[in-house]
């Protein structure tokens, strides 16, 4: 398991798309196969951003920026109770930031996340 570290530097990149997780088998049953699904969704501005066959998920991405995103990429509700839970938890895994170079979060193995600075990593032997 990986543990997130770092602080949000408010680049706004994670707020420029809506990302959805759907049940892979259901979507493929409706469309026949992955290529037909991708074609259908592309006409509507939706991209299949990835899949997790083992857990039966497909991941969709839609280029719709959040309405709380200011022109300077700051969030109007960042430090307020109105900030959605999903935004507070983002990113929950490394895959969420894999394509966002600007993202300042990093991920470390859970057992090593709490080593004080200067303490050698026991797994590096």
- Delimit the domains of the chain by residue range: 1-12+68-108, 17-64
Confidence of residue 8 (pLDDT cuts 50, 70, 90): confident
Which pLDDT value is given to residue 79? 87
Which pLDDT value is given to residue 112? 52
Which pLDDT value is given to residue 76? 93
User: What letter would DSSP give residue 83?
Assistant: S
17-33 residue pLDDT tens: 898 999 999 999 999 99
- CA–CA distances in Å: residue 86 to residues 10, 100, 109, 117, 119: 16, 17, 22, 30, 34
Average pLDDT over residues 35-56: 95
Query: Is the confidence at residue 36, as pLDDT, over 90?
Result: yes
Cβ atoms of residues 121 and 113 within 8 Å: no
52-104 residue pLDDT tens: 999 999 999 999 999 999 999 889 998 899 999 888 888 777 677 777 778 88
Which pLDDT value is given to residue 120? 53
Which pLDDT value is given to residue 113? 45
Length of the chain, in residues: 125
Q: Which residue has the higher pLDDT, 49 or 98?
A: 49
| Cis peptide leading into residue 91 (ω within 30°) | yes
* Residue found by looking up tokens 């839609």 in the block: 62
101-120 residue pLDDT tens: 788 888 887 765 454 555 45
């Amino acid at each position: 398991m990986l543990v997130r570290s770092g602080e949000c530097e408010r680049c706004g990149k994670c707020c420029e798309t809506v990302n959805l997780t759907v049940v892979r088998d259901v979507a493929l049953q409706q469309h026949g196969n992955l290529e037909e699904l991708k074609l259908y969704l592309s006409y509507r501005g939706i991209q299949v951003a990835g899949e997790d066959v083992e857990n039966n998920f497909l991941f969709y991405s839609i280029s719709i920026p959040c309405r709380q995103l200011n022109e300077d990429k700051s969030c109007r509700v960042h430090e307020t109770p109105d900030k959605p839970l999903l935004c507070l938890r983002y990113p929950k895994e490394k895959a969420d930031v894999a394509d966002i170079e600007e993202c300042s979060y990093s991920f470390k193995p859970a057992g090593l996340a709490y080593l004080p600075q200067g303490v050698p990593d026991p797994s590096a032997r």
